[in-house]
Each structure stands twice: as structure tokens, then as C-alpha cells.
Amino acid sequence: MINVTKTFLPPLDEYQAIVSRAWETGWITNRGVLVQELEAKLKTYLGVKHIIATTNGTLPIQIAIKALALKGEIITTPFSYVATTSSIVWEACTPVFVDIHPEYLTIDDTKIEAAITPNTSAILATHVFGNPCHIEAIEAIAKKHHLKVIYDAAHCFGVSYKGQSVFNFGDVSTCSFHATKVFHTGEGGTMITNNSKLHETLFHHHNFGHDGSEAFHGIGINAKMSELQAAMGLAVLPYFDEIIRNRKAIVDQYNEGLKETNLKMLKIRTHTDWNYCYFPVIFKTEAVLIKVKEALEAQKVFTRRYFYPSLDTLPYIDVSDNKCQVSRAIASTVLCLPLYVGLNEEAIQMIINTIKKNL
């Protein structure tokens, strides 16, 4: 059986050696030495100023909205994982969807200004499949209209844009360290900012609002990463460059094998060092997608319709007057192919042949 992804696991003895340090101290949570070590190593590796490790990748979005004191409307993308939209609604704000670029699949920056109203407080944009948004345009719009910017960079570990980490842009960038990601802590995430004062607010929010053991700065929630999660991150990080090389080889084989088909591939934005986190293909029609998907499943190959459905169709969203046609079209015709360390050339070629036979 070939799944769309498979968790990269470091050698068990290496993980055990790291996690044994938590056993020795008896310190399993509440920001132990492993969490602090992971944050320090990630800050250096990524070249960012402030980083806070969290227990998952969704809470950072919710905390960022809270920390920036956002109200009213938040402009966002309909083509993302549901957590992007649900976090906005969860924090009692209103998502306002702007359609996506048909090639980059990120929010269409040329349509953002038309969606701004007196109630708009921020832009929450997703770097889709590790592909950066048009950052300069979004930053210029935000500055002109005095808006905050949050980037959902769940797929972006290791991605750089114009020579620096994509996490260095916006007021806050968030990332997922879920087991399916190129870098993971089993379950986990992070939030990154270059603003020292905002970092303090984010930090307090992720730790119940604590100011020491007996006082509080204000409201907070529990988003702390555990030592067990941090140990996994510390064990995986030394392999990250190898992970990227392996995934690139798979992507290269897909691109070569499918180049003469009518499939449409993701266009990576210029000046981007990509991390090969997903391999999406876009079919001519949904019917063809379903045919190919079923043919692959008959071979015990399991793909994923990622992202589907378009988030402007969620049952708790009212966008009757603002339908995002590009996002809906892409969501109905995009399929992510298997991509993970250890996927061999023979399996990849079988997947390519099955796709070509059923187009």
C-alpha cells in the first residue's frame, strides 16, 4: 500500500537517547530543556528572530489573531486547510475570501484591495504547498491600509524567499510540525515574529497568560510543546537536508514522467527555494480526477484531494455574494500524489504509468 505521505522517523535509538534526558530530569512539559533547545536550534537553522514551539499548528493561528487584537473582518484565502478559516471564525472574526491565482494557487494579491472595508483588520494568507504568496504586494497593501498580516506557513519549513526564510515576513508566521510535514515533532507547530514586543504577547498567550507562577499578564491558553514532541524534533532536524534531497529526486521523477501530459503543475514563485513538500497535479475536469484516483486506488495507491473543498463552501460560511470561482475550480480538480522519503523509483513509475493510462 502506498499512501499519499509517510512519516519520516529517525533511528529509534537516537530518539530514545534524546528523550531519556527528559526521563532523567522528570521534566516532561512546561517548557523543559528539550523545548528550549529545539527553539534555539530552529532559530539558528531558519535565521529568524523569535520562535515559540507549540503543541500543534492550529493554535498559533488562533493565538496570533488574539495577540494582534484583531476584530471584524480578516481577508483570507479559500484555498487552504480548514484551520485557516476555522481559526478566524473561532476567534469571533469574519473571514472575507479573496480568490486565488490560477498558477501559484496563493491568494490573488490583485484582488485584495477590492475586498478591504472599514471593518477589515488583517490579511491572513497561506503559502500554498510551500509556495510563497506575492509577499511584497501583500506587505504594501497592508502598510497602505494599516492592516496586520499573518501568514499560514504550515507547509513552509525550510522554504526561503529572496535569500531569507519565508517565516521572516508578516507580523506573525505560523507553521505546522505535524507528522505529515517535511519537518515534524509528531504533532506540533510554531509561531514566528520579528517584533520583540509581539513575541512577549504571543509567549504569554501560549502559556495561560502566566507572569511567573502566581500572576498573570492577561488571558491565555495552553499551547505549550511537550518534551516528548521536542525530542522528536531534535532527532529529525539533523536529517532535514537529506529529507529535502530525497523528496526533490521524487519530484524530479514525477515532473519528467508527466511532462508530456495535459496535467497542470504548481508554478513556484520566482526567487523561491522550495522544500518539495507536496506534489499537486491539476486535471482538466473533476471526472478525470476521479477516474485517475480510482485507478490508483485499485493499485493500492492512495492520493489526496488537497485542498478540497474550497473553504468558501464551508457550511458555517456565508459567501453567497462572493464566490471564489478559481478556487472552486482548482479544488475540484487538484490531486496530491504520494511523496515521502523511501518512495522508490519503481513505485513512482507505476503511479506515472497509471495516471497516463487513465487521462
Q: pLDDT for 312-340, tens place per residue?
A: 999 998 766 668 999 999 999 999 999 99
Position 13, amino acid = D
Q: What are the DSSP calls for 63-127, one per residue?
A: HHHHHTT--SEEEE-SSS-HHHHHHHHHTT-EEEE--B-TTT-SB-GGGTGGG--TTEEEEEEE-
What is the CB neighbour count within 10 angstroms for residue 152?
Answer: 31
Residue 33 confidence (pLDDT): 97
The CA-based angle 156-153-91, given to 5 degrees, is 160
Residue 213 confidence (pLDDT): 82
User: How far is it, in rounded angstroms, from Cα 249 to Cα 343?
Assistant: 10
Cβ pair 87, 54 in contact under 8 A? no
Residue 131 DSSP code: B
Evaluate whether 12-238 and 240-358 have a shared fold: no
User: How far is it, in rounded angstroms, from Cα 222 to Cα 142?
Assistant: 30
Closest CA to 184 of 124, 128, 239: 239
Residue 320 confidence (pLDDT): 67
Residue 353 confidence (pLDDT): 98
Residue 321 confidence (pLDDT): 65
Cβ pair 73, 91 in contact under 8 A? no
User: How far is it, in rounded angstroms, from Cα 143 to Cα 346?
Assistant: 50
Residue 339 DSSP code: -
The set of cell numbers assigned to 27 is: 521534566
Mean pLDDT, contiguous 10-residue spans, the chain (359 residues):
98 98 96 97 98 98 98 98 98 97 98 97 98 98 98 98 97 98 98 98 95 86 98 98 98 97 98 98 98 98 97 87 89 98 98 98
What is the residue extent of each domain of the chain? 12-238, 240-358
**Pairing label, strands 264-265, 280-282:** antiparallel
Tell me: domain 12-238, CATH 3.30.1540.10, correct? no
Taking CA atoms, 94 is separated from 68, 219, 311, in Å, by 15, 21, 13
Taking CA atoms, 111 is separated from 54, 102, 137, 359, in Å, by 33, 13, 11, 33
User: How far is it, in rounded angstroms, from Cα 258 to Cα 242?
Assistant: 25
CATH of domain 240-358: 3.90.1150.10
Supply the pTM of this predicted model: 0.96
Residue 318 confidence (pLDDT): 79
The radius of gyration of the chain's CA atoms, rounded to the nearest angstrom, is 21
Q: Is 216 helix (H, G, I), strand (E, B) or coil?
A: strand
Distance of CA 22 to the CA centre of its chain: 29
Q: Is 150 helix (H, G, I), strand (E, B) or coil?
A: strand
